[in-house]
Chains A and B, each alone.
Chain A
Amino acid sequence: MKFLAARRRSPLAAVAMLLIALIGIGAGYAVIANARPAEAAAVASTETQVEQGKRLYLEGCASCHGMQSQGTSQGPTLIGVGAAAVDFQVGSGRMPMAMPGAQAAPRDPAQYTDDQIAAMAAYVASLAPGPAIPTQEDVNFESADAAQGGVLFRTNCSQCHQAAGQGGALTQGKYAPSLMNAEPKEIYEAMITGPQSMPVFSNATIPTQDKQAIIKYIDTLQTLPDPGGLALGRLGPVPETVFLWTAVFAALIAVAIWIGIKAR
């Protein structure tokens, strides 16, 4: 205590106290905020999955999507969007939306457990027929042709997601996200449901086999080594320009100055 007592009048004492208080409040908030609503799962055993889904829907979704899922000015109708849309949107943490914005941003971890997501998906699927959650078989891309997938990717996906799948900007702050962490099921669901600004690529447009090829190509991009060295985000000339001027040219000028100084 002597150590503290000797320093309590130090000009840094107030700063230290403030820091301790802030860290304490932050840590406390983090504990409370991360406490999941565990009671919901406990009740689930006595009700059917659809009933549970409906209850969760009314609690967490209805304020924007409407009591009958008919849609409001705040959110679109969910009638006919299918289980795949719920699995994609809630599973990736995009829904429930943290705040109004240009578009829903993914959050990790998701805000609901897998069981809860499945229940909500079942409820939304019960409203009207829609795309179902893809099966293991649907997303199995082992036998697909990556090169063919690359052609399909560049024809259908790269204009928004960029040729290397790094994502790209759309209008008014909307964007096509990077695919570097996307899982096969997520990619498949995105194609069949068309989330945010993305168009729907139904099985009539791109058959399952081609979807698997696209997934295979994205998987290739995710695991592809960079034989040329530092990849600079695979974003093309813009990061190359930044690197050129900030690192390379700065170094050359530094050498020039060094040679100039030596002359004196």
Chain B
Amino acid sequence: MTATSPVEQVGGGVATYVDQRIGSNKFLARNLGKVFPDHWSFMLGEIALYSFIVVLLTGTFLTLFFKPSMAEVLYDGSYVPLKGIKMSQAYSSTLDISFDVRGGLLLRQMHHWAALIFIAAMSVHMFRVFFTGAFRKPREFNWIIGVALVTLGLGAGFSGYSLPDDLLSGTGLQIARGIMQSIPVIGTWMAFLLFGGEFPGTEFISRLYGVHILLIPGLILALVTIHLMLVWTQKHTQFPGPGRTNDNVVGYPLMPVYMAKAGGFFFVVFGVIALIGGLVTINPIWIFGPFMPDQVSAGSQPDWYIGWLDGALRTMPNIESSLFGFTISWNIFIPAVVIPGIIFTALALYPFLEAWVTGDKKEHHLLDRPRNAPTRTGIGVMALTFYLLLWVGGGNDIIAITFGLSINSIIWFLRIALIILPPIMFIVTRRICLSLQRRDREKLLHGYESGRILRLPHGEFIEVHQPINAKEMAVITGKTDITPLPLPPATDADGVRNKHFQVKKLRAKLSGFFYSENIALPTAAEIEAGQHHAEHAAAIEAPLHAYEDADQINRAHGGVLHHPGMPLTNAEQLAEDGGHL
């Protein structure tokens, strides 16, 4: 080794010292150069991770001052409009954090905003994974871990929302308890068990505290670790592009490119959270007042991620029935237990359902462009529409008063729209995807429309098509065409009845539903023929012209008349201009 700079000497010395003790060099050498593909949508999960770090940091600060107790105290802090009022210690200590702890309000607001961003980023990240088919083999388990993380995120958020024991959070808990009680047979037992008696009792906040600061964050941390380890070992998926195949990863190494990018992005996320934590009020608990079971505020809403559940409750018609003297509240049980149950189960099982329907057992490291999986994209948009409509329902009273509408009309609109709009959105999305596929096919066959208009010698105007560049070509041809499964035979060669005929028939039909309308990529021969055809189409279809000086015409080709010295065909004319049809 030749002489190195002092920096390298010191760095090398440290690396050797550490390596001799924990054997880190081999590990680092192998992993620091790991390549990741680049796309902005791959950073959505990063937003979630970074906001979660902010949540942990600010949350740790809050635990120093928050007292998770429902014991009654008389408030004696700096917020005058509540002075001398009876309240729980939890609420009183949250007021103290807001008004009497230095920097307390800033950190409380950062904690709350970061939590909202955390769940928002997880959700959008999930949409990205869904619409690009990143959940396909071999990443199904990681998808399930992701669904678990979203669910835990909702739990973390709701438990945190409920801790300050203000009027809003108490109202939320009251609804949560009502939802528990709506579960037939075990509901009432469950509610009494969890709350330690009647509502609101004296136990629940301290129980929830343990869940909020220990159980859920612990689980989230553990699952995030596995989530990232799997990304590491399975390697990150990539969009189709030049040089990208199912067997490689094209991108930049972790060190130094992603170290810098991810590090910088962490500080951006942290900065944005700090900025809005300082500038924009969130959850002003001092205005809502302490929770009293006999009080409630108009416009009581949960945080955004529970909004769709609240919307489901608000939109559901009021149906109850009585069985053996017990009331079954379908109006609560269906929207708040059954519908979320179905949604989360379907979400977790989707990769397996799709793989079963499509019979796809291959590994996928190349992402689907959403247009290339029209049925999946349609299903996603359909689910999203349903979700967003429920979300609107959660804010129906605020919408009514803000826009001067009748809340009853909004509810009826949503009841009808929830049934009608999602299927319409499915069909529309699917058609749009198929049209985009057709356009891609056109581009491969005839190039893109250059926007350059050319006047041919006989007067006709044509638009010049240019061949697409290599990058776009790679993106479009990165698509894999899948043929639908064939219908199974009803009997085998010996005439024995196929035992699984019905199931297999269903599967073949669903597979046809998924793939039958697929616009297949053109073959190389078709592309060749397409180009050739395009060159001649204009020439053949061009109208005949009667020139007065017909004696000068020496040759007619494809119906187009030519003067001496002019290009003989339209294609030649185009070639001179550097394009083709």
Contact = CB atoms under 8 A, between A and B. Distances in A.
Nearest to B396: A169
B304 A173 contact: no
B332 interface: no
Interface string A86-100: 000000000000000
Nearest to B46: A256
Interface in B144-185: 167-168
A150 interface: yes
B117 A252 contact: yes
Contact of B298 (A147, A161, A229, A257): A161
A37 B296 CA distance: 46
B279 interface: yes
A241 interface: yes
Given A163-B289, A228-B105, A256-B265, A240 B167 contact: no
A95 B276 CA distance: 44
B280 A154 contact: no
A146 interface: yes
Interface string A226-253: 1111111011111111011101110111
Contact of B47 (A166, A173, A226, A256): A256
Contact of A227 (B80, B98, B406): B98
A172 B167 CA distance: 26
B105 A244 contact: no
Main secondary structure of the interface of B (DSSP, over half): helix
A171 interface: yes
Interface stretch (B81-89, B517-525, B551-559): B81-89
Size class of A's contact patch? 35 or more
Contacts of B281: 226, 228-232, 234
A14 interface: no
A155 B297 CA distance: 9
Given A228-B280, A244-B117, A244-B304, A151 B85 contact: yes
Contacts of A256: 40-41, 43-44, 46-47, 265
B299 A245 contact: no
Contacts of B409: 173
Given A169-B401, A238-B395, A244 B120 contact: yes
A44 interface: no
Main secondary structure of the interface of A (DSSP, over half): helix
Given A159-B297, A163-B167, A260 B40 contact: yes
Given A150-B289, A154-B292, A238 B398 contact: yes
Contact of B84 (A147, A163, A175): A147
Given A228-B282, A234-B287, A171 B408 contact: yes
A240 to B, nearest CB: 6
B81 A175 contact: no
B574 to A, nearest CB: 32
B405 interface: yes
Interface of B: 38-41, 43-44, 46-47, 80-85, 98-99, 105, 109, 113, 116-117, 120-121, 124, 167-168, 252, 261, 264-265, 268-269, 272, 276, 278-284, 287-289, 292, 294-304, 307, 395-398, 400-401, 404-409
15 contacts: A151-B85, A158-B297, A159-B296, A160-B298, A162-B297, A162-B299, A169-B398, A169-B407, A172-B407, A173-B404, A236-B300, A238-B398, A241-B303, A244-B120, A255-B268
Given A169-B407, A172-B407, A238-B301, 19 more contacts: A147-B80, A147-B85, A160-B298, A162-B299, A168-B397, A176-B298, A227-B99, A227-B105, A228-B282, A229-B281, A232-B280, A236-B283, A237-B168, A237-B301, A240-B116, A252-B47, A253-B124, A260-B43, A261-B40
Question: Sorted from nearest, which 10 A-B pairs have the closest CB atoms?
Answer: A168-B298, A260-B40, A228-B281, A173-B406, A163-B297, A169-B400, A241-B304, A169-B397, A256-B43, A237-B301
